[in-house]
Amino acid sequence: MTVTRFAPSPTGSLHAGNIRTALVNWLFARQQQGEFILRIDDTDQARSSDANAFGIDADLTWLGLDYDARYSQSRRFALYDAALARLAAAGRAYRAYETPEQLDLKRRVQAGQGLPPVYDRAALALTEADHAGFAARGVSPHWRFRLDTAAPVAWHDLVRGAAHVDPASLSDPVVRRADGTWLYMLPSVVDDIDMGVTTVVRGEDHVTNSGVQLQMFAALGAAPPALAHLPLLAGTDAALSKRTGSEGVAAWRDAGIEPAAVRAFLARLGTGQPIEPADDAALIAGFDFAAFGRATVRFDPAELAALNAKTVHGLTFAAVADRLPAGMTAAAWEAVRGNLSTVAEAAEWWQVVTGPLAATADAADVAFLADARDRLAVLSWTLGVWTEWTAALKAATGRKGRALFMPLRRALTARDHGPEMAALLPLIGRDAALARLDAARLAAADRALYIDAVPPEVR
């Protein structure tokens, strides 16, 4: 069975890049009828917080990404201890004592000699007596994983194709610090083995880590998962980072972005597939690792906002009823949704329907508005009243186009643009419409008197 996992560190809020990683893992698991695991990688106790972990859960819930199991690494340290002991017994992990300052000095010497800054494995020459001496002085070791540098580590990447890492160009990674805290590399491998993860999907900035971790899988006697490294997302002018306050759930929610729009946008971003409103069934059925390109992908909030508007236009009344103003009907939603960028904007148009409004009209339209009011008063109030009314006005006045429709729209909605008046007028109602036309005519008359009273040179 396919098992994927999303493994964020609870050191801050999720941003668009790691939300996209979560989504891709979710889509692939659902397409394969497998499992999607949320694993909170909270080994960095100093920087992790329960608040951030709860925030990750809340974000995934808002996004509609349900998971089948949830784990926290902070409760699994005994597994990592056992794995490290196994590696040490096999000669694949060893103790070292260099301080950061000593390591920095070594790197500077290597740079001066034109050598790569790779750890020289000096700790491998230490004897048991040396280790006992460090212990007697109260100096604890950090632990490194010993890489096999005989040949490159190669694999077929589900996104990148043929991929490889040369371990000879890397330092043996530290897997546990001197204070006993764990770094990312080994716990991730141990958990992937224990949880039966079959496919690891993450950003291409983890390619080197993957080369190292493939050796860890082998050293622990486990088959490695399939690997997929997604191209990174970049903002309009910089790489996305949760530490620089980039786009994320809080910003999207505040801006009125729909979770469905986020899913459709991030699922197709960086692929050759069209970015358009799509339900989950379509996104799952159409998911394909081969569709992702290799280039860094530009994340533009304006493009997400545009897709959100299209998504809102397709939402049914039942889907939004609990977010609409009290009393707003299905007919009203159908009338206005095509003009909305967010669901919240429906409140403004419901105010247009229910009033009160400040009437607006041009001085030249006094007689036209009076005629319009009288003709509307005698018509039967049906769903086709707008069409019948404007046809009668056109025949009587000779007006057409903007000259016919704009004064009526302004009088009835106090707006120059908006939903189709054929849909709005029945919602406004006969009495309110007649009152608004009266108010607009009076406003136009007042404006005409003002214009007449003001000398031409002052107008």
C-alpha 66/C-alpha 82 separation (Å) is: 31
Give me the sheet containing 3-6, strands edge to edge.
3-6, 35-40, 69-72
- Cα angle for residues 398, 401, 406 (degrees, 5° grid): 105
**Per-domain boundaries in the chain:** 317-353, 355-453
pLDDT tens readout for residues 2-44: 999 999 999 988 999 999 999 999 999 999 999 999 999 999 8
Q: What is the pTM of this model?
A: 0.90
CATH fold for domain 355-453? Arc Repressor Mutant, subunit A (1.10.10)
C-alpha 64/C-alpha 73 separation (Å) is: 24
Question: DSSP string covering 313-356, please?
Answer: HT--HHHHGGGSPTT--HHHHHHHGGG-SSGGGHHHHHHHHH--
Q: What is the pLDDT of residue 246?
A: 62
Q: 325: cis peptide before it, omega within 30°? A: no
Cβ atoms of residues 164 and 229 within 8 Å? no
Q: What is the pLDDT of residue 107?
A: 94
pLDDT tens readout for residues 405-417: 999 999 999 999 9
Q: What is the pLDDT of residue 245?
A: 39
The H-or-E segment that residue 39 falls in is strand 35-40
C-alpha 159/C-alpha 295 separation (Å) is: 11
The H-or-E segment that residue 157 falls in is strand 153-157
Q: What is the pLDDT of residue 455?
A: 63
Question: What is the three-class DSSP state of 209?
Answer: helix
Question: DSSP string covering 82-142, please?
Answer: HHHHHHHHTTSEEEE---HHHHHHHHHHHHHTT-------GGGG--HHHHHHHHHTTPPPE
pLDDT tens readout for residues 142-194: 999 999 999 999 999 999 999 999 999 999 999 999 999 999 999 999 999 99
Which portions of the chain are predicted below pLDDT 70?
236-246, 450-459
C-alpha 380/C-alpha 197 separation (Å) is: 68
C-alpha 317/C-alpha 323 separation (Å) is: 10
Q: What is the pLDDT of residue 240?
A: 56
Helix ranges (H only) for 358-420 are: 366-377, 385-397, 402-413
Tell me how long the chain is: 459
Strands (DSSP E) contained in 191-343 are: 199-203, 226-230, 233-234, 297-298
Single-letter amino acid, residue 266: L
Both tokens assigned to 387: 């069409």
